[in-house]
Amino acid sequence: MVQQLGLSHIEADAVQQMKNLYKMFIDCDAGQVEINPWALDPSNTLFCLDAKVNIDDNAKFRQSALVEMRKNSVCSE
């Protein structure tokens, strides 16, 4: 996947970020985790600049800390 995304020059960093994203997806009962964009600093360190994360409504009882964050956000419903 790293090669397909053209990130071979920062392979270790890209692989670690993808592993972290997958872990977050599973641990948070996410239905979606979207990173857009990724960026490199001058030392070729990969950063996530923005993200969208959706938690499965049926799993919110397991994710009370995330639900509380949403309640306190500007975007809360």
Going along the chain from its start, the domains and CATH numbers come out as: 8-71 (3.30.470.20)
Q: For 27, list phi and psi in degrees, rounded to 5.
A: -65, -30
Phi-psi region of 6 (alpha: psi -120 to 50; beta: other; left: phi over 0): left
Provide φ and ψ at 51, rounded to 5°.
-150, 155
Q: Which one is predicted more confidently, 22 or 74?
A: 22
pLDDT in tens, 3-19: 998 888 999 999 999 99
pTM: 0.74
Which residue is listed with tokens 């799993």?
A: 59
| Predicted local distance difference test score (pLDDT) of residue 37 | 92
